[in-house]
Structure 1
Amino acid sequence: MLDAAALLALRNLPLVARLIAEGGQAGLHPSRRRGAGMEFSQYRPYQPGDDLRRLDWRLAARSDRYYIRESDVDTRLTVRLVLDASASMNHPDSAGVSKLDYARLLLAGLAYVAQQQGDAVGFYAVQATGLQTVPPRSDAGQLQRLYHALGAVQAAGSLPGAPTLAPLFGRQGSTVTVVLSDLYDLEEGSQLEQVLTHLRAAGGEVMVLHLLAPNELTLDYPNTATLEDLETGQRLQLDPAQRPEYQRQLEDWLRRTEQSVRGHGLDYYRLLTDEPPAQALRQVLRRRQGAPV
């Protein structure tokens, strides 16, 4: 499993997406399941409690035995990939991989997985200037549209208000919405909090991928470093004596952030940019399926 820096060095997002997806070795959902669908799959012996409408009476008349017709039920989904493209996503880790670059890799891998399962997949970049959209489709050219949009997106400014993002909030059916963000704006009443509230109200399944760089957690910088908020421009001189207090506040913020996401009824996953993207994808998909990681 290659790390993000090695994958970015390939400069080939379609190839990287396939490598990540194959390394993940899991899907968003079983592509087919047995049930009362439209496409015949097999017979099985009747069991008490089975729906008699699925019993094959002609076969019963010929064989004097009772069999149930099983079919393949189509479980295809609409998968919506939502990327936070605010300025804080430009933050690099110690290897020089920004959260935005890591997000490109991970979402490209997810798009490949969805397309391989026949799902309609779309992409939404939430930017200060509005919402960049590649509407969900399942045709052969959709991955190239998504890769182009992922490669072109730039992170800047802060998140727009919820009214700007109205196309995300229509009623959803068999939909999985994957939101990838560093969640720095997630406070009560914030723009991001309103977005999560609207997504929950729209229905469908929502997965929130909380992406962080390890140096944000450890403050692994020289003692003389000056820290700058990428969205407000505010600067702060790093004081080594304040690291324990920073760690305490950070742990409190991480706990409150996870509680807030789960409190909206959404699935929460925390990821770090030093983790190979294929490994991160595997963990997310297998946890979603309830399988051991």
Structure 2
Amino acid sequence: MLTPEYLHALQNLPLAARRAAEGMLHGAHASRRKGAGMEFNQYRPYQPGDDLRRLDWRLAARSDRYYLRESEVDTSLVVHLVLDATASMNHRDDNGLSKLEYARLLCAALAYVATQQGDAVALTVLHPQGLQHLPPRSDARQQQRIYHTLEHIEAAGRFPDTVTLAPLTARRQPALTVCVSDLYEENGEIEQLLTRLRAATGEVLLLHLMARNELDFTYRGAVTFEDLETGQQLQLDAGQQRRVWQQQLQAWLLDTARRARTRGFEYYRLNTAKPLTDALREFLRRRARG
């Protein structure tokens, strides 16, 4: 079992990404589109600006009309990985792994899988002080660029403001946007960003990270909780508050999933104590529909 703790303990992000993705590429298929490929599919009328090398000159000589040969070709997607690196991602589970460390492994594995599929991969890290952005590329060195960026990320601060985020949605480009976040927000700012990204790129896969100690409320006795982004503290007795906590958490999770799907996002919740396998399967399933 390739547990998150094991992968993190490797201290080698490229190796961990490859290990996590083992066995996940079997049966994956590239999507297909019409274009200038090898297998003939159909003709279509010439339009100004088309590549003249694709004209069927013999057909033109017979019919006095200009047509292009179209083929089915394997096509790559643009996969845009968007990583929430705000301070709440520093939350640690009972296994000692933080959400950011899990997210780092997950993004590295997704980049590995996407690259193996021939996709162009982009990475954006969301920080309050600015965006770290690697534009989409499919060359052999892009994976290393992504690994290097992920290895040096530190979670801090609150979610970036709309001015900081504006460049992300300024350009419309079809892509599969994969957002990795714990979805802790103050005024719906993550939902707003993803709504704009969906309008700009067309597809959003939202991977919602939750730690096991949050989901199961594994705390005991008197506990002091601190909001990692605001510094606010709350003291409570874990035994007395467990039922109320779990009821409110389940209500929030159900509402979060409902709102995400209402907005048109593909939503998937992940437990950071469990292997990355389910997230990678969900990515491949979503990609196969592209």
CA contact (8 A) 1:171 1:202 kept: yes
SS at match of 1:106: helix
User: C-alpha displacement at 1:247, in angstroms?
Assistant: 1.2
Provide the residue aligned with 1:200 in structure 2. 198
CA contact (8 A) 2:5 2:95 kept: yes
Aligned mates of 2:240, 2:163 — CA distance in 1: 43
CA contact (8 A) 2:212 2:273 kept: yes
SS at match of 1:95: coil
User: C-alpha displacement at 1:84, in angstroms?
Assistant: 0.4
Q: What letter matches 1:96 in structure 2?
A: G
Aligned mates of 1:7, 1:52 — CA distance in 2: 50
Provide the residue aligned with 1:161 in structure 2. 161
CA contact (8 A) 2:34 2:73 kept: yes
Match of 1:220 among 200, 218, 221: 218
Aligned residues: CA RMSD: 2.4
Query: Counterparts of 1:264-275 in structure 2 under 5 Å?
Result: 264-275=263-274
- Deviation by residue 1:33-75 (Cα, 9 ceiling, x = unmatched): 3x643222379xxxxxxx6769x9x9xxxxxxxxxx9843232
Structure 2 residue ranges without an equivalent (≥5): 46-55, 59-68
CA contact (8 A) 1:37 1:74 kept: no
Greater CA drift, 260-269 or 191-200: 191-200
Query: Counterparts of 1:86-97 in structure 2 under 5 Å?
Result: 86-97=86-97
Q: Which has the higher contact order (CA 8 A, sep 6+)?
A: 1
Query: Counterparts of 1:1-293 in structure 2 under 5 Å?
Result: 1-25=1-25, 30-33=29-32, 36-41=34-39, 71-185=71-185, 189-239=187-237, 240-286=239-285, 289=288
Aligned mates of 2:147, 2:199 — CA distance in 1: 29
Aligned mates of 1:271, 1:71 — CA distance in 2: 40
Aligned mates of 1:227, 1:134 — CA distance in 2: 35
CA contact (8 A) 1:25 1:282 kept: no
User: C-alpha displacement at 1:216, in angstroms?
Assistant: 0.6
Could you state the TM-score of these two structures normalised by the residue count of structure 2? 0.84
Closer/same/farther in 2, CA of residues 265 and 53 from structure 1, 3 Å limit: closer
Greater CA drift, 253-262 or 79-88: 253-262
Q: How many residues align?
A: 267
Aligned mates of 2:287, 2:135 — CA distance in 1: 24
Identity fraction in percent: 55
